[in-house]
Amino acid sequence: MNQIDVAVCTRNNEKTLRQSLERVIKYASPRRLIVIDGNSNDKTVEIASEFRAEIYTDDGRGLGYARNKALRLGSTDLLGFIDADALIPGNWLRLCDHFRDSKVAAASGANLYGYGNPPLQRFHEWLIKHSEKDVGFVGTVVRRKVLIGVGGISEALQTYEDWELKARLDVHGYRWVWDRNVVNLHPLSMREYLKRARAWARGAAMSGVAASRYEYFRRFAVSPLGGLRLAGIVHPIYAIYYPMVQFQSLIGFLEGAKSKHPIDRIAG
């Protein structure tokens, strides 16, 4: 079960890809390394070639299409998805153990966003300890045929496609498990994280499976108190930074809510 194909979807990731793939080879020992490139115009493809990866293109059709292409190209029952800007840990293959349960369709590690950025890293270290569940494709193993069977990964969403997929898996009686003992390292600056928070919330609104608009307003309204609490627990900068994150999330959600929801097939 630990012999799996691994897919890395990438676009213009020359700054992070080499270190990411070095860890993939060292810790995942993939049967096949499949790279789906999004028409990169930097050295991404050249770097992937150094690792003898099978390189394909997404024909400019986006991340969802790239992941679905990887599902079709894979030849093992289990397929790993690893982000081109993430670093998997030495125990990453532990995720495969969860598939002894036939109802598990996906298993994710915890994601340490902001790795190398002390305030952001400390926040996510705290979050990993106290969160009940998270899902995502940063460093994840999936059961290929199950995902294909429920309709694959949404190609209409740029973010939050993971939670939308989880909702469909739930409907079909499958589970997406989260293992907090497998920690993927994801370097991000605080500015980059703010952009991601906005993008995540935009996708959440478009997915139709996220919290309500009221909930996003509520989170922003109470964020100054939450920031003060985190300032004492994590880092003083969170007195200012946490409300900024919640503001960006609110703006992103409102942006997404203005768009026509592309996802209307959860119940199917």
pLDDT of the residue at 3: 84
37 shares a domain with 70: yes
pLDDT of the residue at 84: 96
Buried b (16+ CB within 10 A) or exposed e, 146-176: bbeebebbbbbbbbbbbbbbbbbbeeeebeb
pLDDT of the residue at 262: 53
**How many whole angstroms from its chain centre is CA 258?**
24
Residue 50 lies in a domain: yes
**How many whole angstroms from its chain centre is CA 135?**
7
Write down which residue in 133, 167, 186 finishes a domain.
186
Write down which residue in 143, 158, 186 finishes a domain.
186
pLDDT of the residue at 83: 96
Write down which residue in 160, 186, 212 finishes a domain.
186
| Domain range for 213 | 190-258
> Which ranges of the chain have pLDDT less than 50?
264-268
- The separation between the first and the last C-alpha atoms of the chain, rounded to the nearest angstrom, is 30
Q: In what order do the strands lie in the sheet with 5-10?
A: 54-57, 33-37, 5-10, 78-82, 139-143, 104-113, 175-186
81 shares a domain with 174: yes
pLDDT of the residue at 264: 44
pLDDT of the residue at 134: 85
253 shares a domain with 124: no
CA angle 108, 207, 170 (to 5 degrees): 50
Residue 217 lies in a domain: yes
pLDDT of the residue at 266: 37
Number of domains the chain is built from: 2
Three-class DSSP category at 14: coil
